[in-house]
Amino acid sequence: MSTEVEYIIVGSGLAGICFAEQLRRKNTSFLVISDESQCASEVAGGLYNPLILKRFTLAYNAAEQLDYAMPFYEELATFLKVEIDHKIPTLRILNTPAEQNTWYEARDKRGYERFMKDSFESNSNEGIQAPHQLAEVLETGKLDTSLLRSAYKAYLKNQGQLLEQRFDYGKLQLRSKVQYNAIQAKHIVFSEGYGLKQNPYFNYLPLNGTKGELLLIHCPGLGETRVIKSGVFMIPVGDDFYRVGATYKWKDKTSIPTEESKQELIEKLKKFLKVPFEVVGHVAGVRPTVTDRKPLLGTHPSYPNCHVFNGMGSRGVMIGPLASKQLISHIEDKKPLPEEISIDRFRQLWSPQDHS
How confident is the model over 239-285, as pLDDT tens digits?
999 999 889 888 888 889 999 999 999 999 999 999 999 999 999 98
CATH 3.30.9.10 segments of the chain: 89-139+209-287
**pLDDT of 74 over the 80 cut:** yes
Every domain range in the chain assigned CATH 3.50.50.60: 3-43+146-206+291-349
Nearby residues of 251 by Cβ (< 8 Å), 6 or more positions away: none
The model carries a pTM of 0.93
Reported confidence tier of residue 38, pLDDT bands at 50, 70, 90: low
Three-state DSSP state, 310: strand
pLDDT score for 295 = 95
Which fold does the domain 89-139+209-287 belong to in CATH?
D-Amino Acid Oxidase; Chain A, domain 2 (3.30.9)
CB 262 within 8 A of CB 282: yes
Checking if the pLDDT of 30 tops 90, the result is yes
CATH topology of domain 3-43+146-206+291-349: FAD/NAD(P)-binding domain (3.50.50)
pLDDT of residue 54: 87
Of the pLDDT bands very low, low, confident and very high (cuts 50, 70, 90), residue 40 is low
pLDDT (mean) for 215-228:
96
38-77 core/surface letters (b: 16 or more CB in 10 A; e: else): bbbbbbbbbbbbbbebeebebbbbbeebbebbbebbeebb
- Give the number of other Cβ atoms within 10 Å of residue 299's Cβ: 21
Q: What is the 8-class DSSP label of residue 205?
A: S
180 pLDDT tier (thresholds 50, 70, 90): very high
Q: For position 156, what pLDDT does the model report?
A: 98
Q: What pLDDT does 44 receive? A: 57
- Please give the share of the chain, as a percent, with pLDDT higher than 70: 96
Q: What is the mean pLDDT of residues 174-196?
A: 96
